[in-house]
Amino acid sequence: MASSYSPSAVDRAIKDIAHEAIRFAMHEARWYGTAEGGFQGNSWEPLLPPATGPTGTIRLKYNALTQTANSDAPPGARYVGEETDALGRLFHLYDFDPWEDLYQPWLDRIANAFEGWSSLPDPGDFTGPISNMQAAVVGLTPVPSGESDHDFASVDLAANLDLLDDWVGPGTAEGSTSALVFAFDNSYGAGRILPLLQNQAQVAILLGAALQGEKQIWEKTRVDIMKLLEESKAAFDVTGGGSGSIDLGVVAALVDIVGNFLPSAIQPVLSAGSSALSLVDSLLPPEDTKEATFDISGATAEDVYDSMVDAIRGLDHAVWRKESDLVTTLQGLLDTMRSGPASQFHIHPRNGVDPALLDPPAVDVRVEHLRRIGYETVPTIAASMGKAAEDAQSADKASIWERTGYIGYGTNGPYPRWSEVLAELDAVVTGSASELVEGGRLLAVGAGWLEDTDGSSREILDGVQDDLDRGKHGWDNSEVGLPPPVPNYPYSPGPMPV
């Protein structure tokens, strides 16, 4: 069983592999020993020192007249002549710097092959942001009271939307007799808010699914790299038969990521494949079932090294493919938000608050209802949206995506695209909530409530006012037509082993 991943475990394994590679290379020259204890060749003097640090140049002497099974010159040794001792024995002379000629080159090659793999993102770091984004989804998803007994925010959101529909919806007394109420219902009523929330929630779901996908990628990749290190060491071990294979678990990392992400509180009303997740379903990549198996073996140290490098590149490419799927999904979401009707995501985009509410005619309705709608019901809905925006912003932790070197999709994976989508989500949620509050205020003012009647609204919005202020100028998806950002990847992966 492979060891658990940690930076120190990877570094130790890299050193062990390099030592086995040195031993294999010396074995090919028919020297015996270990990198930790030194090497001895038949008919050669002296014993070579261990691979613990610089050795300097050593004069090796090979007894040319011995009749035993002799060892070859070590890799990198240079013939410098011959000499005969007092007993008449002939020796061939070689200069050899074990550290510079053999030890350090192998240590460097193995370390370079695994560069960056000792500092992979920690999947545990994604747990908190995933929870934050789950909270954002819950805040944007009304849950009927009979379907959740523990998430009062979503139940409260649903109850206030029902109240809004009952008092200012189509067919109500107020809606039939008041142009003000009619205008408010068209722009800010339950029928307008519900599909808006659904679309905003789907954006949050895809952002959360990307976090969930990254978490699963690094869970699998950490297992895979430890298996690869273990098999590489075994392949270089000349005493153990030396060959192994690895099946990459990261290949299946994105299966069911939406189902894994969806918070339990809203699963009764949202499930993968439901009509409420049509946007999500349309943007998710197809399931990747391509298998990736690599054999690490060879008759020489160079052969083993080459097969090991192929396996490392294969794992890198598998991570790249998975993160590319996430980037493609997020880019598709950006394109949808920027190219489709802005009103699908923002309650009153570009124009700000509906002008029909600014100069209302006199109303002949039960004005106490309009006061409550304007100063309590609407702010409560907006507060849930503001809290959702706050939760979503709390998931923004750029450092958790970073990795040393270009492993997978660049040095920070899909994060640049993810943060772009988050910025769009924040704009539509905070902007819609801010305009909803202002629309409610104008409804109450139009009904005659003029004297310090927004105290309850301020109390309801306490803690989220800063979030609402970010979106007070509305949202303009005018970036239509811009080319997709260039991936943060320094080279084309090219043909990869499959």
Q: Are residues 169 and 313 in the same domain?
A: yes
Beta-carbon contacts of residue 239 (< 8 Å; ≥ 6 apart): none
Beta-carbon contacts of residue 338 (< 8 Å; ≥ 6 apart): 424, 477, 478, 479, 480, 482
Do 214 and 413 meet the contact criterion of CB atoms below 8 Å apart?
Answer: yes
Q: Are residues 256 and 325 in the same domain?
A: yes
User: CB-hemisphere CA count at 13 Å for 146?
Assistant: 0
Query: In this predicted structure, what is the pLDDT of residue 157?
Result: 78
Domain extent at residue 69 = 7-110
Query: In this predicted structure, what is the pLDDT of residue 79?
Result: 96
- Let me know if residue 126 belongs to a domain: yes
Kindly write down the DSSP assignment for every residue of 422-462, as one continuous string.
HHHHHHHHHHHHHHHHHHHHHHHHHTT--SS--HHHHHHTT
Q: Are residues 230 and 311 in the same domain?
A: yes
- β-bridge partners, 90: 84
Q: Where are the alpha helices (DSSP H) in 298-408?
A: 301-339, 367-372, 378-394
How far, in Å, are 30, 62, 167, 257, 485 from residue 340 at the CA level?
Answer: 71, 80, 31, 26, 19
Query: In this predicted structure, what is the pLDDT of residue 492?
Result: 39
Q: Are residues 203 and 62 in the same domain?
A: no
Question: Beta-carbon neighbour count of residue 322 at 10 Å?
Answer: 27
Q: Are residues 105 and 131 in the same domain?
A: no
Q: Are residues 329 and 229 in the same domain?
A: yes
Maximal C-alpha separation, the chain: 127
- Let me know if residue 288 belongs to a domain: yes
pLDDT in single tens digits along all 498 residues of the chain: 678 999 999 999 999 999 999 999 999 999 999 999 999 999 999 999 999 999 999 999 999 887 677 899 999 999 999 999 888 889 999 999 999 999 999 999 999 999 999 999 999 999 999 999 999 999 998 876 555 444 445 557 778 778 777 767 666 655 555 677 777 888 888 888 888 898 999 999 999 999 999 999 999 999 999 999 999 999 999 887 666 778 887 765 555 788 888 888 777 666 544 556 788 888 887 776 666 788 999 999 999 999 999 999 999 998 998 899 999 999 999 999 988 888 889 988 877 777 777 666 555 556 677 788 888 888 999 999 999 999 999 999 999 999 987 899 988 999 999 999 999 999 999 999 999 988 888 888 777 765 555 677 888 888 898 888 888 777 777 654 444 444 443 333 344 333
- Let me know if residue 115 belongs to a domain: no
- Let me know if residue 489 belongs to a domain: no
Q: Are residues 106 and 219 in the same domain?
A: no
Rg over CA atoms, the chain = 34
Beta-carbon contacts of residue 13 (< 8 Å; ≥ 6 apart): 3, 226, 229, 230, 233
- β-bridge partners, 141: none
Beta-carbon contacts of residue 79 (< 8 Å; ≥ 6 apart): 73, 92, 93, 94
- Let me know if residue 277 belongs to a domain: yes
Q: Count how many domains the chain has.
A: 2
Beta-carbon contacts of residue 306 (< 8 Å; ≥ 6 apart): 298
Which residue type, as a one-letter code, is found at position 315? L
User: Where among 110, 133, 164 does a domain terminate?
Assistant: 110
pTM, entire model:
0.86
